[in-house]
Amino acid sequence: MRSFPFEFALRREARFYPEDPGGVTGDVLEIGPGRGDFLLAKAQSYPNRRFVAIELKKRRFRKLVDRVKRRELANVLLINGDARIVVRQSVPPNAFSQIYVLFPDPWPKRRHEPMRLLNDEFLELLAARLTSGGELILATDDQSYRGWIMKHADRVDDLRLGAVHESGDALTPEWVPTLFEQKWRDEGRTITYFSYIRPAED
């Protein structure tokens, strides 16, 4: 099993839409938006907030670009690349008040666990990119991955567990379900929504 960072990923340059963004900062960062249901609905509802999304797959990125253009959203920056690299290289510390990772690929087989995105190293990186008092918001239908994330987050000094909703209720009333969320709900899977806070400095 190859482990991160993969050489090809490090060599691949990230692409941006719009092309010359002038800095990867904003209010809300979403990692792995997929079809972008959550991102686009939120960006439409909050035109004064800047949304940034990093999507690994080129095809999904291109479709997201089309959707952003069609909706004429001027407050969205899309990035095609591996979030583990893009966040480290392009996002400055204390940049976002909210970071969302919704239904990350669970890699359920034990031998694939090293592929899981939300290990302590990446969680530590995300914590450093949150503003003080900022929130990391997560959702998964995979209970093994949930436990794994919690174990890894426990090792990160700058993250404190916030809310945990195991009942299937989203974290906020104005939640917008993602494509995968709709799929898992239709299949009757239990979804856990949980958050971590970067504690405010004294």
Ligand X SMILES: C[S@@+](CC[C@H](N)C(=O)[O-])C[C@H]1O[C@@H](n2cnc3c(N)ncnc32)[C@H](O)[C@@H]1O
> Smaller CB distance to ligand X: residue 17 or 180?
180
CB 38 within 8 A of CB 64: no
Region from 28-36, 41-49, 62-70, 163-171 binding ligand X, contact rule CB under 6 A: 28-36
> Smaller CB distance to ligand X: residue 100 or 196?
100
> Smaller CB distance to ligand X: residue 35 or 49?
35
Residue nearest ligand X by beta-carbon distance? 32
172 CB neighbour count, 10 Å cutoff: 10
CA 19 to mean position of chain CA atoms: 21
> Smaller CB distance to ligand X: residue 49 or 88?
88
By CB under 6 A, tell whether 136 contacts ligand X.
no
Residue 178 CB partners (closer than 8 Å, separation 6+): 33, 34, 35, 37, 38, 102, 103
Residues 106-125 touching ligand X, rule: CB under 6 A, are 117
By CB under 6 A, tell whether 56 contacts ligand X.
yes
Which H/E stretch holds residue 99?
strand 96-102
> Smaller CB distance to ligand X: residue 133 or 168?
168
By CB under 6 A, tell whether 91 contacts ligand X.
no
- For the chain, state the CA radius of gyration: 16
Binding footprint of ligand X, residue count (CB under 6 A): 22
| Interaxial angle between packed helices 58-71 and 37-45, expressed in degrees from 0 to 180 and rounded to the nearest 10 | 30
Active site members: 105
By CB under 6 A, tell whether 181 contacts ligand X.
yes
Least CB distance to ligand X at residue 94 (A): 21
157 CB neighbour count, 10 Å cutoff: 9
Structure-token match 């900022």, residue found: 134
- How far apart CA 80 and CA 98 sit, in angstroms, is 20
Structure-token match 């239908």, residue found: 141
Least CB distance to ligand X at residue 115 (A): 9
By CB under 6 A, tell whether 82 contacts ligand X.
yes
Name the site residues for ligand X (rule: CB under 6 A): 31-35, 54-57, 60, 82-84, 102-105, 117, 178-181
